[in-house]
Amino acid sequence: MNDNELQYLVEYIALRYFDDTFEHRAYFNKRLRTTGGRYMLESHHIEINPKQYELFGEEAVRDIIKHELCHYFLHLQGKGYQHKDTDFKKLCQKVGAPRFCQPTMTYNERVNHHYRCRNCGQDYYRIRRVNLVKMRCGQCGSKLKEL
């Protein structure tokens, strides 16, 4: 699937499920890592993570498009478009848009940092670095060291 096919699919889903037209651009963004898609508030464009299509197929992309179109139409109508808003939750339920997409990487694949307690040897795996001055072992309270 390329950007033109994605644009057509978004326009089709907007008409079929929302009875409204999608007037902006939809395209794949390879830089998206932790999210399936993104609605841009200022430009009103929709970006989709191409990994979702590669790993899970067109059905996953359709679900992501529905989710992003919920943000799109509610924002343009001046209603609650955030995940926490009642309007958003109701519209997602109405059109069958999922709340979350499937992750492209597991936690273990995303881990970048390995820490070990100096006293008891407990291992800790983290995606982001932690402050070794502040962080202590959860079991014995001793200092950690990075491996």
**Residue 31 confidence (pLDDT):** 93
11 catalytically annotated: no
Say whether 71 counts as a known binding-site residue: yes
Say whether 83 counts as a known binding-site residue: no
Q: Taking the mean position of all CA atoms in its chain, how far away is CA 93? A: 18
**Residue 86 confidence (pLDDT):** 93
Q: 46 vs 1, 30, 88, CA distance in Å?
A: 16, 13, 17
Cβ 56 vs Cβ 36: under 8 Å: no
Residues of the chain with pLDDT under 50: none
Closest to 46 in 3D by CA, of 105, 96, 3, 80 = 3
Q: Which two tokens stand for residue 140?
A: 């014995």
Q: 52 vs 24, 25, 28, 29, CA distance in Å?
A: 21, 19, 10, 11
Residue among 47, 58, 59, 68 flagged as catalytic: 68
**Residue 34 confidence (pLDDT):** 80
**Residue 57 confidence (pLDDT):** 87
Which pTM was predicted? Answer: 0.75
Q: Which amino acid type is present at position 118?
A: R
